[in-house]
Chain A
Amino acid sequence: MDDNQATFLLVRRCVSGDAVAWEELVRLHHRRVYNVCYRFTGSAEDADDLTQEVFIRLFRTLGSYEPGKGSFVTWLTTMSRNLLVDHFRRSRQDRVTDSLDAGLGPEEDSATMADQLASPVPAPDQHIQSRERQAMVHAALQKLSPELREAVILRDLQDLDYRDIAQVLKVPEGTVKSRINRGRTELARLLSRTYQQDASAGVPAPGANAGPANPGRGAQK
Chain B
Amino acid sequence: MSAVKVSNLSILYHQIPALWDINFEVPEGTMVAIIGPNGAGKSTLLKSILNLIKVKNGEIEIMGTPHHKLRDKHKYIAYMPQRSSIDFDFPTNVIDVVMMGRYGHLGWFKRPGKNERELAMNALKKFGMAEYSHRQIGELSGGQKQRVFLARAYIQQADIYFLDEPFGGVDSKTEQVTLDLLKELKDNNKTIIVVTHELDTLKAYFDYIMLINTQKIAFGTPSEVLTAENMQAAYGGLMHMPHR
- The judgment on whether A and B are partners is no
Chain B residues in contact with chain A, CB under 8 A? none
Chain A residues in contact with chain B, CB under 8 A? none
